[in-house]
Structure 1
Amino acid sequence: MTGSSTVSTHALHAALVPVPALVDERRTLYRLAAELFAPGTQLSDNLADHPIVRYEIGKALAGHGGLDPARLAEAASMRVRDAGIDVAADSMAADVLEAPLRIVAPRDARPEPLTVADGDRFEAALAVVAEGVRLFREIAPDMAADLLAHVSMLVVLKKESSGGLVSASSRYVPGIVLVDEPALPMEVAEALVHEGAHEKFFDLAIVKDFLDPRAEEADYFENSWSHARWPLEQTFAAWHAYSCLAQFNASTGTEQLGPDSLLPKAGMRAREIGAWLLAHEDELREDARWLLRGLAGDANENPGEGVVPSRVDSAVTLFPEIAEDCHFQPLPDVRYKRAATGRVVVGRVAQPPEVFWLDEDASWTLGQWCHDRTPKTFGWMLTRATEEWHVDSAAATARLGKALGSLLRSTLVERSDRAR
């Protein structure tokens, strides 16, 4: 069972979606969201990866105000230092990073970042971080490449201010890892495994088929070591992190561990949480179930058979028979972007705002309006679908009808009697 499996986490992640594709799809989603709230906003890769930029976009998507491009530029101007990963160094970092510092703070603690203003103390911590990153890459190079791609910034906290926080991350500010002032490189390496696993999960959850809003109503898991009770999302994230830690632990050899290390306990905890998740897997969606069973040694070789289900319900066809001269067009407020993988993410400014991924056929169908938004007939699209999908007319008719039905049901496309 999980924790002792010989299947590597990085291999399963890559089978689900390779790192470059996952990062590109995540950037595509944030770029679309930024344009929804601030038309004309263009995010470079660095901006699309920046934790505070992603936090501000996430707030807007959650319906908590608009998006201020000036705030994004302010966050991007914060200075960092290279220690194998970017480390927050700016003397104003506490102001720029107010959100993650507040969100992860233990009760009655006000974590403060170490910065260049702390002189030699910061430089000493930076050296330990650099050695920890190097050690991680040396001990587990494949895992490091897999997880560090999702860590955009690391923040070192002053030990006297952290309230005993060993390491932390938050789905509300994805891409940032906070660590207590380290004494040993292994403390940094372990924190990057632990929090990097969370960051990987955050990215997977926004582009793949993991959880839906009903997950908040699922049973809570209570662990045996602290009797803390976790909702399903937190339970899955903890299982995923402990699974990665257990695999990393198998490679650490005689390296000295920190006093708060979870590595010796990781396998046992992964097994306990994994057993509970398997008993509650009906609450998980397709890709989450595949990853869970994969680490339990029970995954097939093709997760999702190559097609990712969408919030657009492709199982529902509103119009089983559509006349060839029936016209369709996207609604005026629909915006979408296509990732390098070909997947399409769609957005509408609504209350609350909506951003979601389409399945393969719905992506292709909406893409027929990529050059102009004039009404198009079902017959015109059917001819193109038959040619480009390399299927016969009957198969293309069924697939295109289902795709249009899903787009209509999601109010992304409407029927139109206006011919052009």
Structure 2
Amino acid sequence: MLVDERRTVYRLAADLFAPGTELSDNLADHPIVRYEIGRALAGAGELDLARMHEVAGLRVCDAGIAVAADPRSGFLLEAPLRIIAPPGVAIEPLTEADGDRFSAALQVVADGIRLFRSLAPVTADDLLAHVSMLAVLKRETSGGVVSASSRYVPGIVLIDEPSLPIEVAEALVHEGAHEKFFDLAITHEFLDARAEDVEFFETSWSHARWPLEQTFAAWHAYSCLAQFAQACAGVELGPDSLLPKAQERAAEIGAWLLAHEHELRPDARWLLRALAGETVAPSAVEGDAAEIEVDFHFRLHPDVRWRRTESGRMVVGRVGQWPEIFWLDADAGWVVGQLPADGSPIGVGGLTTGAIGRWTAVTDDPGRRLEVALASLLTNSIVERVS
């Protein structure tokens, strides 16, 4: 479900920049395609369709995950290699041009993925769904990077040239958790602009200081590593393993997040509590209500496009020089779904009748739910009143 929601976001974004563009699953999952779409959404340039199709031709080997093998990988994967490189370090990927050395690394990767799936099959299925590609770094160029991922180039995991399958398995838990968090962050309510103003978390083990987003991502990764550690009893770990420290660090970070959970959006609070073994009741309908009269009519704004996911959630985009994308809550999504796609208006009477039929069983005030939904849609210029 989460993967489908993420693909839906990227497909909508591509269509906003280049109407009529349809991304296959392979393109929608490709890390560099997602990077290019992200750059365009951030206003860093136009969407380069030619570049997207060029990187789609990057040759990979199947080791249970697509592993970059193309001799052009250093060029085609320039963005993640540059972003994760320590200062002054020029990281190079291993490719099939490296012959037996690449083949040996590929075998360790394949063994590591099989080990991961055998030790923790549920966790492996969950996290590996968010890893579209893996690149192995030449040990002499990695600059001490053991494993890495970046929210700017989601979907790709980079690992240092491995010696042991367990090193690969642990790296995929660690970075796979980050990749899943990246997908959660663009499809659910996790953080907003206020997160940049929250005090930093300082780790007790290195005294590094992290902003809220990095702190939450680290907590999620350490929580996943702590679960994986339980499955690794008796397994000889790599020299850089974080598994023995994962539970303690997850608890330390989690305690800080719980003390600052008022800074988190609802879905982040839910995940924080859920992994702590607590339940969180869904919040009541909140928000300002629009004042509507029986003779009002509304229509979808002409610059708006929308798509519905397999789960029923709706994501909308507004065309502009720099398109904007919004996830709608269930009520607002239902309202948009009632509006004719051709832009013709619909009266409040029709919407109210539908709202009563849909929501009466779960609320004693379906009219207010409709008013709140319309208010949010009007505020974000997704619908407009025409009379």
Residue in 1 aligned with 2:87?
A: 107
Residue in 2 aligned with 1:323?
A: 293
Residue in 1 aligned with 2:239?
A: 259
Preserved contact between residue 291 and residue 299 of structure 1 (Cα < 8 Å): no
Preserved contact between residue 90 and residue 141 of structure 2 (Cα < 8 Å): yes
Aligned partner letter, 2:131 = V
Secondary structure in structure 2 of the residue aligned to 1:178: strand
Partners of 1:290 and 1:393 in 2: CA distance: 23
Between stretches 158-167 and 394-403, larger displacement belongs to 394-403
Secondary structure in structure 2 of the residue aligned to 1:100: helix
CA distances 1:81-128 after superposition (whole Å, capped 9, x unpaired): 000111001110111100000000012211111111111110000000
Deviation of 1:370 after TM superposition, in Å, equals 4.7
Partners of 1:235 and 1:393 in 2: CA distance: 37
Deviation of 1:177 after TM superposition, in Å, equals 0.2
Partners of 1:228 and 1:409 in 2: CA distance: 40
Residue in 2 aligned with 1:9?
A: none
Deviation of 1:344 after TM superposition, in Å, equals 0.8
Aligned partner letter, 1:403 = A
Partners of 1:327 and 1:370 in 2: CA distance: 12
How many pairs align?
A: 387
Residue in 2 aligned with 1:6?
A: none
Does 1:131 find its partner at 2:111?
Answer: yes
Between stretches 382-391 and 137-146, larger displacement belongs to 382-391
Residue in 1 aligned with 2:307?
A: 337
Gap regions ≥5 residues in structure 1: 1-20
Secondary structure in structure 1 of the residue aligned to 2:290: coil
Preserved contact between residue 299 and residue 340 of structure 2 (Cα < 8 Å): no
CA distances 1:251-273 after superposition (whole Å, capped 9, x unpaired): 11222211111111111111111
Q: Percent same amino acid at aligned positions?
A: 66
Does 1:362 find its partner at 2:332?
Answer: yes
Deviation of 1:369 after TM superposition, in Å, equals 2.5
Preserved contact between residue 40 and residue 322 of structure 2 (Cα < 8 Å): no
Partners of 1:379 and 1:173 in 2: CA distance: 46
Aligned partner letter, 2:228 = F
RMSD: 1.7
Partners of 1:327 and 1:287 in 2: CA distance: 33
**Residues 2-81 of structure 1: pairs in structure 2 closer than 5 A:** 21-81=1-61
Does 1:353 find its partner at 2:323?
Answer: yes
Residue in 2 aligned with 1:10?
A: none
Partners of 1:351 and 1:210 in 2: CA distance: 26
Partners of 1:317 and 1:352 in 2: CA distance: 29
Are residues 370 and 113 of structure 1, via their aligned partners in 2, closer, same or farther at CA, if it must alter by over 3 Å?
farther
Partners of 2:42 and 2:5 in 1: CA distance: 20
Residue in 2 aligned with 1:160?
A: 140
Residue in 2 aligned with 1:219?
A: 199
- Which of 375, 381, 385 is the aligned partner of 2:351? 381
Partners of 2:289 and 2:124 in 1: CA distance: 44
Deviation of 1:400 after TM superposition, in Å, equals 1.6
Preserved contact between residue 41 and residue 69 of structure 1 (Cα < 8 Å): no
Partners of 2:249 and 2:362 in 1: CA distance: 52
Partners of 1:381 and 1:190 in 2: CA distance: 52
Aligned partner letter, 1:414 = E
Secondary structure in structure 1 of the residue aligned to 2:376: helix
Partners of 1:393 and 1:359 in 2: CA distance: 16
Aligned partner letter, 1:247 = Q
Preserved contact between residue 318 and residue 409 of structure 1 (Cα < 8 Å): no
**Residues 182-197 of structure 1: pairs in structure 2 closer than 5 A:** 182-197=162-177
Preserved contact between residue 62 and residue 353 of structure 1 (Cα < 8 Å): no
Gap regions ≥5 residues in structure 2: none
CA distances 1:149-208 after superposition (whole Å, capped 9, x unpaired): 000000000000100100000000111000000000000000000000000111111111
Residue in 2 aligned with 1:278?
A: 258
Partners of 2:138 and 2:323 in 1: CA distance: 38
Aligned partner letter, 2:67 = V
Partners of 1:270 and 1:384 in 2: CA distance: 46
Partners of 1:318 and 1:324 in 2: CA distance: 13
Deviation of 1:71 after TM superposition, in Å, equals 1.1
Partners of 1:90 and 1:78 in 2: CA distance: 6
Does 1:91 find its partner at 2:61?
Answer: no
Secondary structure in structure 1 of the residue aligned to 2:293: coil
Deviation of 1:372 after TM superposition, in Å, equals 2.5
Residue in 2 aligned with 1:411?
A: 381
TM-score by length of 1: 0.89
Are residues 221 and 37 of structure 1, via their aligned partners in 2, closer, same or farther at CA, if it must alter by over 3 Å?
same
Aligned partner letter, 2:139 = K
Residue in 2 aligned with 1:116?
A: 96
Are residues 413 and 244 of structure 1, via their aligned partners in 2, closer, same or farther at CA, if it must alter by over 3 Å?
same
Deviation of 1:38 after TM superposition, in Å, equals 1.2
